[in-house]
Structure 1
Amino acid sequence: MREPLIRLRGITKTFGEGEAAFQALRGVDLDIAAGDFVAVMGASGSGKSTTMNILGCLDVPTGGEYLFKGVAVQNLDRDQRSLLRRRYLGFVFQGFNLLARTTALENVELPLLYRGEPREKRQAAALAALDKVGLVPWARHTPAELSGGQQQRVAIARAIVTHPDVLLADEPTGNLDSERSVEIMRLLTDLNRESGITILMVTHEPEMAAFAHTVVHFRDGVVERTEVREGVR
């Protein structure tokens, strides 16, 4: 059997010390296969967001093992984790996080700007990413000139412009109406199927989780159960 792209074993996370200490994760075990579409669900405080932060190299566990492509991430230093994040991970947030005074094209270019890519290469890659989300005609528009659904598409284009192995989406439809939410979920599904991007999505909405192949339920800092929906892929 192929090794999973991501493997968590006994992951714990404690915030604070002494009597004020809070154990957010109590031993999370999770395998994620390359190319899977995973929805992560659970009540507030269940540990799903803390786990996603660890998976995204935005935080480190207190204990346990996190393997990414066989590399023990918990042993990497800050610079090494930053490099892993830039090379292999893309992020989409509920609030879009677009720069207000820059165009859609310029927003999508940003990760490549940080990498020091030349302007022509940046623009070509950003236009290709916008094409994947159907927004090339709006490339020169600022976020204020776009709908919420279009802004989230720009955010997704920005996340995929570096060709990440994994896309981490935190409540990507949380600020959208039902029709725009379905549009975004169909876009994520297409990216997963056609580009092979592994998607990890936090959501509170069962209707959105229904688009995923695997649904992981968190409860009280551990994985309570995992559903594999064979008919989805």
Structure 2
Amino acid sequence: MTAAAPLIELKNITKTFGQGQAAFQALRGISFSVQAGDFVAVMGPSGSGKSTVMNMLGCLDTPTTGEYWFRGQRVDQLTRNQRALLRRHELGFVFQGFNLLARTSALENVELPLLYRGEPAAQRHEAAMVALDAVGLTRWADHTPAELSGGQQQRVAIARAIVTRPSVLLADEPTGNLDTHNSREIMELLARLNREQGITVLMVTHEPDMAAYAKRVIRFVDGQVASDAPNHATEAAPAEGAA
């Protein structure tokens, strides 16, 4: 039986910033693939290339050399507008900072990507409520970020990321601004979205406790893949509400 083609494939990716003596090679021949439905944690020390790879996967940057394939399409050869369309329709983003609009409700924050798409108000509202329900926040739809806890704000940010029904969720230190309890709740949520909705998750984290929720861990060192292996800690990840 032929194995399914990867959803994402990076082949010998390099990224150099600057020129001449000031040049810095952030990535030095990165290669790995991701199957649909996977949950991958990307780990490594500061400056190892984790965020550079995430920016590339998110179509926010392009490689200096190498190939980036998404659903069999060569992304690094797309125009800026074509990459923007791919980003808008296939990718969702969750950051360490919640990046919510302060004076608008949770519902309006979640609707924002659909507003950029030009979808009608009724459809935006319905889809946003479905996304808020997925993260357990329908009761808080009319509340502004100032009226929500940090964990609730990150849930709103996740709802905003999934409201467009993306194939891939890119999460960059999603628990970096949260305490232990809220961090575990967010990781349980990401694991559930991966498990129940089949959303592929790629997450950058410095925290082994958070990486324990992933199915696979890729470790970066000095712009290279140092290791890439199934995460045997997944089954031992703490249950929601556990001490």
Q: TM-score, normalised by structure 2?
A: 0.95
Alpha-carbon distance, 1:31 to partner: 0.7
In the other structure, the counterpart of 2:24 is: 22
Q: 1:143 aligns with which of 142, 145, 157?
A: 145
Instruction: Spell out the pairing of 1:143-182 with structure 2 (5 A cutoff).
Output: 143-182=145-184
1:124-143 → structure 2 map (5 Å cutoff): 124-143=126-145
Change (3 A) 1:226 1:163: same
Give yes or no for the alignment of 1:5 onto 2:34: no
Residue 230 of structure 1, CA deviation: 5.8
Aligned residues: 233
- Secondary structure class of the residue paired with 2:27: strand
- 1:194 and 1:180 mapped to 2: Cα distance? 21
Point out where structure 2 has 5 or more consecutive residues left out of the alignment.
Answer: 236-243
Greater than 2 Å deviation, 4+ residue runs? 229-233
**Post-superposition shift, 1:229?**
2.7
3-state SS of paired residue (1:106): helix
* Matched-pair contact (CA < 8 Å) for 2:171–2:201: yes
Could you tell me which runs of 5 or more consecutive residues in structure 1 were left unpaired when the two chains were aligned: none
What corresponds to 1:184 in structure 2?
186
Contact 2:213 2:233 in 1 (8 A): no
Does 1:69 find its partner at 2:78? no
SS of 2:186 mapped into structure 1: helix
Deviations 1:59-97 (A, max 9, x none): 000000000001000100100000000000000000000
Give 1:138 deviation, angstroms: 0.3
Q: 3-state DSSP class of the match of 1:49?
A: helix
SS of residue paired to 1:150: helix
Evaluate the alpha carbon distance shift between residue 149 and residue 159 of structure 1 in structure 2; reply closer, same or farther with a 3 A threshold.
same
| SS in structure 1 at match of 2:234 | coil
Structure 2 SS opposite 1:101 = coil
How far apart in 1 are the matches of 2:222 and 2:21? 19
**Aligned equivalents of 1:189, 1:165: Cα separation in 2:** 15
Report the residue type matching 1:29 in the other structure: S
1:221 aligned residue: 223
| Paired residue secondary structure (1:193) | helix
- Aligned to 2:37, what secondary structure does the other structure show? coil
Q: 1:86 aligns with which of 77, 85, 88?
A: 88
Write the deviation string for residues 15-59 of structure 1: whole angstroms up to 9, x where unpaired.
000111000000000111100000000000000110010000000
Task: Answer yes or no: is the 8 Å Cα contact 2:218–2:225 preserved in 1.
Answer: yes
Give the secondary structure class of the aligned counterpart of 2:229.
Answer: strand
Cα distance between partner residues in 2 of 1:44 and 1:181: 21
Q: Give the C-alpha shift of residue 232 in structure 1.
A: 3.4
Task: In structure 2, give the amino acid aligned to 1:101.
Answer: R
2:194 maps to a residue whose letter is: N
Q: 2: CA distance between counterparts of 1:159 and 1:104?
A: 13
Amino acid at match of 1:169: A
Q: Which residue of 2 aligns with 1:114?
A: 116
Asked whether the equivalents of residues 212 and 233 of structure 2 are also in contact (C-alpha less than 8 Å), the reply is no
**Contact persistence 2:92–2:162 (CA under 8 A):** yes
